Structure 1
Amino acid sequence: MRKAFVIFFWSILVGGLASLFVFANQKQQEVTCPEFIIGISNDGPHQLISEQYIRQQITRAGYRIKKQRLADIKAEEIQELLRKNPYIRSANITIGVNGSVIAHIRQRQPLLRVFTETGRQFYIDSEGFIMPVNAEFATRVVVANGKIPDISLKSGNDRNRDVKPEKNLHPELQKVFLTAKAVKQDAFSEALTEQIFINTAGEIELIPKLGNHTILLGDTTILNDKLNKLKLFYKQGIRNDAWNKYVMINLKFRDQVVCSKSSQYGTI
């Protein structure tokens, strides 16, 4: 008898709590949203979106949030809309205790700006995701150009969604992406590098901010070792006015640096 009473008691309690939850949820759905809050987190210094930009995107898609009943706000659709934005890495919509709708957004970070052979421009972010250039937000990152084929931005990101975005990149884009990542990870190389160039042989060159020479990396093997060699060479091998004596610093070969001087200085 006592066991049956205990079961009955807990059944009533659970049922009551469930009813209370349903009632509270239904009541909240009738609440009018007092405000729409947008929080944008950024893992780096580059801004590609703003609160105003997000509000405009949602409004242009036909959605209304502020002063609307929570039951009428299509939070999941708005969340999906934001997630499809090429500048947004993640987006989540939550409801505050007072009925406020909150968008938690994490922006992608551009790593480099690519110019194809046909002059098309786009960004590649720190994960290898391709993004269009946003004219409203000027972002200064390393530039990559040269023998880079024209590609569709969509095909560059959608070929295989089950692997990391960088694996979907065209081989020439993978070259500049991996080079830009290696350069970004080293403060000296980042400060030095103005441009990444793919020459007619498909080899990687760096164009430095100082001097009239180019730096030949070749391919993406042992990139960190090559950049370390370059750092050592600049600190110990180039002095005074030597910046303008060289036309090429070749780092293709393991454990050596081969330099070519301009014709007025001879060659080494």
Structure 2
Amino acid sequence: MTINFNWKQILIVACNVIVGIYLVLAVTAFNNPDEAMAEQCTEVKIDIEQESMEGFLNPGEVKKLLSQYKLYPLSQPMNTISPRKMEETLLKSPFVEKVECYKTLSGHVCINIKQRIPVIRIMAINGDSYYLDHHGNIMPESGYATDILIATGNITKRYAQNVLSKVANKIVSNSFWRNQAVQLNVLPNQTLEMVPRVGDHIAFLGSPNNIDTKLERLRKFYIYGLNKAGWNKYNYINVEFNNQIICKKNNRQI
């Protein structure tokens, strides 16, 4: 008795069985992701978004903060790691603006952070000392030193957040003034003085209005005036009024 096999049909059936088994395993893995994951976290990847200005956060600080709450995931079982709890904890830091945490099937935990960037340090005459970010939010003092614009004088927190943060943003967003402006001083009547990095003088900006126009007028005076007359010729330069600059000569000039 001769048995004839339909090899084509057998091959089709075998392929269908293999595909069926694959689909069952895939659906099972999808519905039970923890079982498909590595058993333990083997690596923590911390990515802190870089800005034009230096911030306060580094991977060591992130690890320290998570460890305080026993949430640092390295060597922990993957099915016990909660990215949401990690995000909620990191957002408690005044230096974190946004954060995203997630797990990978290869046993890695990824932490992506956008940090708050300080634009000005407030050192008020009443003893207040803190930083402001570019949104005007208050950031506490940090032991981390950074080269940043400083504001001194008669400063309330309301004035700092509503006025100085806007002035600081205009300064740090301009490459010329970001390098030239060192300090703002708030006088009792809430007008502003600026101390430059180069030149033996103080620039009086007046009220914190039309700052863009005043800074541009002063920049042109630096380029076309002081470059020729000498950077130490004047000790006080007033750009408060439109279309004019009032200068007081430096009597100490040699």
* TM-score category (smaller protein): 0.7 to 0.9
Q: Determine the structure 1 residue equivalent to 2:225.
A: 237
CA distance, structure 1, for counterparts of residue 38 and residue 180 of structure 2: 59
Q: Per the alignment, in what secondary structure is the counterpart of residue 238 of structure 1?
A: helix
CA distance, structure 1, for counterparts of residue 228 and residue 52 of structure 2: 35
CA offsets 1:56-87 (integer angstroms, 9 cap, x no match): 11111122412222221232111111112111
For structure 1, the residue ranges without an aligned partner over 5 or more in a row are 1-14, 152-169
Q: Determine the structure 2 residue equivalent to 1:254.
A: 242
User: Aligned to 1:192, which of 174, 180, 189?
Assistant: 180
The 3 A distance-change label for structure 1 pair 118 and 20 is same
Of 182-191 and 97-106, deviating more is 182-191
Q: Determine the structure 1 residue equivalent to 2:210.
A: 222
The 3 A distance-change label for structure 1 pair 35 and 172 is closer
Contact conserved, 2:98 with 2:113, CA < 8 A, in 1? Answer: yes
Contact conserved, 1:204 with 1:218, CA < 8 A, in 2? Answer: yes
Determine which structure has more spread, i.e. the larger CA radius of gyration: 2
Whether 1:83 and 2:91 are equivalent positions in the alignment is yes
TM-score, with normalisation over the residues of structure 2? 0.81
Identity percentage of aligned residues = 24
CA distance, structure 2, for counterparts of residue 253 and residue 59 of structure 1: 55
Letter in 2 for 1:146: G
Q: Determine the structure 1 residue equivalent to 2:56.
A: 48
Contact conserved, 1:90 with 1:107, CA < 8 A, in 2? Answer: yes
Letter in 2 for 1:185: S
Contact conserved, 1:175 with 1:204, CA < 8 A, in 2? Answer: no
Q: Determine the structure 1 residue equivalent to 2:11.
A: none
Runs of 4+ in 1 over 4 A off after TM superposition: 15-19, 239-242, 262-265
Q: Determine the structure 1 residue equivalent to 2:155.
A: 148
Q: What's the RMSD between the two structures over aligned residues?
A: 2.6
CA distance, structure 2, for counterparts of residue 116 and residue 17 of structure 1: 65
Letter in 2 for 1:247: N
Letter in 2 for 1:32: Q
Of 60-69 and 224-233, deviating more is 60-69
Q: List aligned pairs for 1:1-268, cutoff 5 A.
A: 20=28, 23-28=31-36, 31-135=39-143, 137-149=144-156, 151=157, 170-239=158-227, 242-262=230-250
CA distance, structure 2, for counterparts of residue 236 and residue 35 of structure 1: 57
CA distance, structure 1, for counterparts of residue 128 and residue 93 of structure 2: 20
Query: How far did 1:19 drift?
Result: 5.2
Q: Determine the structure 2 residue equivalent to 1:8.
A: none
Q: Determine the structure 2 residue equivalent to 1:9.
A: none
CA distance, structure 1, for counterparts of residue 71 and residue 172 of structure 2: 40
CA distance, structure 2, for counterparts of residue 264 and residue 53 of structure 1: 49
Q: Determine the structure 2 residue equivalent to 1:4.
A: none
Query: How far did 1:241 drift?
Result: 6.2
Q: Per the alignment, in what secondary structure is the counterpart of residue 101 of structure 1?
A: strand
Of 57-66 and 241-250, deviating more is 241-250
CA distance, structure 1, for counterparts of residue 126 and residue 175 of structure 2: 32
Letter in 2 for 1:200: P
